[in-house]
Structures are given as C-alpha cells and as structure tokens.
Amino acid sequence: MGRFEGDYVPGEVLAIPAPGLSLQALKAQVADVEPQEELPGGLVRLKVPVGQEEAKARALLKAGMRYVQPNYIYKPLKVPNDTYYYSAQRIYLNNLVGLEAAWDSSTGRGCPPLVAVLDTGVQKDHPDLAASLWLPRGWELDVADRDGDPSDRDGHGTGVVGVLGAQTDNRQGIAGVTWGGYILPIKVFGDNGDGSSWTVLQGVRLARQLGARIVNLSLCLMIGGECASSDSVPPYDDPALTSEIRQGRAEGIVFVGASGNYNQPVVGYPASLPEVIAVGVVTNSKTRASFSNYGVSLDLVAPGGDPVWMTGLRGSYVSNRGTSFSSPIVAGVVALYMSKYASERKAWPTPDQVYTCLTGNAEDLGASGRDDYYGFGLVRADRVMTDTTYCFP
C-alpha cells in the first residue's frame, strides 16, 4: 500500500487488481467503491468516500488488490522568469538550496517579515529593487553619514539586498531568495567606506525600533587586516554592540551574519556570537570555499564559493564571491520560513525555533554531524518549508 501522506485527490485511490479479480466482484466485497476508469496494464482509478481513502485502501487489499495508493497531487515547481535565473542562478539557488520546491510553499509575499540589511546602503531606484524596499518617512536610515540619504556608493549593500530580495519573476535581472521582500536598508558604512562600533550599534537599534524581524550582518570587526572573533584567544568583543544584539534577539529578532573571508579557524565577530546564525561558504560542488572562515561558532554554509549574481550600481547586475553573499541567502530562507509560519499560525516563530528549524534540516557535509568547517551543513530551503519535526511541529 502506498503512503497516505501529503496532498492527494480526495475521494480517489489507484489500484492494481490481482490476476482474475473482476471489478464487479470487488464492488460486492468492498462497499462504496466505484471503478472510474482503467488503464492498460491493469491500473484502475476508484472512487471512494472522502476521508476514507486509507481505510478503503486496506479493505481493497484484503479483497484481492495487489497494490493500492492515493491519487497523489503533483504541481509544477516555480521557476522564475528572471533573465539570469535559469542560466546563472539556478545552479546554486535550486540545485544546492532547493528554492524551487520551497517557493511552491511560500515566496515570502504572503506575510513578509521586515528584514534589515546593515551595510553600505542601497541604490534605491534600481529597477530590480525599488519595489522591495521599505523606506519609512521621517527616519534617518543613514546612521553613518547622517545626511538623510542611504544611497550606496560602494555597491556591497546593493548586492546583498539583491541576493536577499530582488524582485522575482518580473522578466528582468535576477531572482531574490524572497520574491521581492520587505527590506529595510540601514547604512552603517559611510561614503568613505568606514563603519564603527557606534554606527553598527545604531543600525541594530534602529532595526529594533522599526520592527525588523531579521537582521543581516555581512560585516565583521577588523583587527590587523582580518576578522576579529569572540572565539579567538584572547577573545575580542564589542560589549555595547553585543548587548544591543542580545536585546534584539530577546525581543524576537533573528540575526544572520557572515563568518568572514580570510580562511581563519575562527568565525568573525559579530557572527561568532551565539545570538547570531553564523554562515560560511561552499562552492557549487558543496565543498568549503578555501577562503571561508570556520570554527566552533559556525552554524550553516550556503553558496558563495562560486559567483553569486546580484544587483549592482547604476541599475547593473554583477557577480561576486564571499560570505557576505552567503549570509543573505540564509537570511532569505529565514524570511521564507517566517512568512509561511506567520501566515499559517498567526504568530512569528521565535529565534530559537528558527535556529532549530534551519540547523535541523541542513544537509550534512564533511564529517558526520556538526563540524567546524560546515557547521550543521548546507541550508536547505526545500526541507525547511515542509518539515513537520523542527519547523512546523
């Protein structure tokens, strides 16, 4: 007997009779079963009472059927029509992360969580981003230059925002992990390229004030040309920022951060904090990128060892590598999960629920179980959106 789980046509089963068993004799043995049509090879479609599909299947087996199953429901996978998706993005967004199956469950548009991106700003009028941004009036989103304009002069923030939530299925450009998310760009790096403890702290505080549910941190504290870490010896910490992040997580915010691009055996701060989901990088062949920081605080890995496509300045599209772009892939998966969860259950999942959901469904890579090179493994959106053990118990 087939498994009566998932979606199937109500009031129908498919069956193969044993040799010599007539359908008329079958009707006499099992009540309320009506043959509908028969295919060459003996497969027959039967009408049964709605809600009794599995019970009638068991009765049919006892009556002489060789095999009985539900009439399973199939759906086409969502394949976005964006220019670069099929030729350039599908290899990592779908083949590694499983987003086409995940998008069948949610594209993030139903009940979108507000996602704050703390970075170099954003090109607000980019044709693939403008509709994805939330720019609340009367709020200073540039906490670095304080000039009232979070416009991006560097391109890093514009790229991160595009990976996370470019407008999708709009016949242009790239696909975002969320199909046109609800993204709050907060500029914590000035036009001169500098950020500081003060600006990043102010960015986290502003995200809290404006109701962000997810904060992406594609950045790290730099000491001597490399990422400093709270895991190093001696450890580095930025106590005021750490306190702000802890307060945000206690309020229900999910923080996602980049592990760093320096092949260090420690995860860069602030991703190394236990309150932040730390993301490293794998190639399209699911091996750790040689530059990806690793260590005891690493939670997940995502694509970024091979080129990731993103939005660029002046309306362009570019590709790049790095943990800066694996982090928003994970943040986007978090947004998809939170959107579906909130739509169904009318409440946001807690940061602990999100963490357990993502790590419990990661594709184990490297040594069995959690390890310092891959964390719990490769983020898998397809598993996250259908899991009933960790995600939707």
- The predicted pLDDT at position 335 comes to 98
Separation CA 301–CA 287 (nearest Å):
10
Q: What's residue 250's pLDDT?
A: 98
The yes or no reply on domain 85-384 and CATH 3.40.47.10 is no
Cβ-proximal residues to 278 (8 Å cutoff; 6+ apart), any chain: 257, 258, 259, 267, 271, 272, 297, 298, 299, 300, 375
Kindly report the three-state secondary structure assignment for every residue of the chain.
CCCCCCCEEEEEEEEEECCCCCHHHHHHHCCCCEEEEECCCCCEEEECCCCCHHHHHHHHHHCCEEEEEEEECCCCCCCCCCCCHHHHHHHHHCCCCCHHHHHHHCCCCCCCCCEEEEECCECCCCCCCHHHECCCCCCCCECCCCCCCCECCCCHHHHHHHHHHCCCCCCCCCCCCCCCCCEEEEECCCCCCCCCHHHHHHHHHHHHHCCCCEEEECCCCEECCEECCCCCCCCCCCHHHHHHHHHHHHCCCEEEEECCCCCCCCCCCCCCCCCEEEEEEECCCCCECCCCCCCCCCCEEEECCCCEEEECHHHCEEEECCHHHHHHHHHHHHHHHHHHHHHHHCCCCCHHHHHHHHHHCCECCCCCCCECCCECCECCHHHHCCCCCCCCC
Degrees (nearest 5) of the Cα angle 316, 319, 324? 110
pLDDT of residue 27: 79
pLDDT of residue 215: 98
Quick one: pLDDT at residue 22?
80
Which residues are identified as catalytic?
119, 156, 324
Can you give the pLDDT at residue 284?
A: 98
Q: pLDDT at position 305, please? A: 98
CATH 3.40.1190.20 fits 8-72, yes or no: no
Nearest to 321 by CA among 303, 295, 294, 299: 303
State residue 78's pLDDT score. Answer: 84
Cβ partners under 8 Å of residue 326, min gap 6: 258, 279, 280, 281, 282, 301, 302, 303, 304, 308
Those residues of the chain that have pLDDT short of 70 are none
Q: Where in the chain is the domain with CATH 3.30.70.80?
A: 8-72
48-81 per-position pLDDT tens digit:
999 999 999 999 999 988 999 999 988 777 899 9
Numbered ranges of CATH 3.40.50.200 in the chain: 85-384
